[in-house]
Amino acid sequence: MAHEHHAHNLQLSKMLIVCSVINLLYVVIEAGVGMAVSSAGLVSDAGHNLSDVATLLISLVAVNIAASKPKAAKGLTIANAVLLIAAVALIAVEGISKLISPEPVQGAIVSLTAGIGIIINGVTAYLLMREQDRDINIKASFLHMLSDTLVSVGVLVSGLVIAKTGLYIIDPVVSLVIAAIILVPALRLFVQAVKN
């Protein structure tokens, strides 16, 4: 039984490392494109993606110390929840900033970049979904990746609308709507982490 548990943790660790590397590469690309085309949606999404990478790494550590150091693992779970809430706050701040001072955005480029994000985030969320019921940290990572997939969908839609209509205000509005949607599961996760 112990051998099976160790083998499962090893497999889980490898999956978390692969997910972390893929998402980190996307963060760099998305942040660069977002700054180049002045997209609040892309820059916000990149920031949220960076918090996802941190969450994946926290989950990696937690999975490997849960049996021997349960208090430390609980602390990491709480940190995961706090990171998700912080990411929501950053998305909201960036969205409000761009709402006050809207900037021109190249909708087609934004949509293309967000489309790549949907694939990366969606695949990562799918991999984590199968394991989320076994560990609360994996659940936290899954929620991060699921929310980021939703963010990418929102950014893609806003990019298409901007490309067709030129309404740049859509970009920060979408960011704020997504922040509000993510806040609810983030707060639930935090309460669950503290109670466990």
The pLDDT score that the predictor gives to residue 1 is 52
- pLDDT tens across 97-147, in order? 888 887 777 778 878 888 898 999 889 989 888 888 777 778 878 887 887
Q: Are 53 and 6 in contact (CB under 8 A)?
A: no
Please give the mean pLDDT across all residues of the chain. 82
The pLDDT score that the predictor gives to residue 4 is 60
Task: Provide DSSP, 96-165.
Answer: HHHHHS-----HHHHHHHHHHHHHHHHHHHHHHHTTTTT-HHHHHHHHHHHHHHHHHHHHHHHHHHHHHH
Q: To 10 degrees, the CA torsion angle through 160, 125, 36, 173?
A: 50
Maximum Cα interatomic distance, the chain, rounded to a whole number of Å: 60
The pLDDT score that the predictor gives to residue 101 is 83
pLDDT above 60 (res 87):
yes
pLDDT above 70 (res 2):
no
pLDDT above 80 (res 13):
yes
Domain extent for 62: 2-195
CA distance 115 to 89: 24
Share of the chain above pLDDT 70, in %: 94
CATH of the domain at 67: 1.20.1510.10
Count of domains observed in the chain: 1
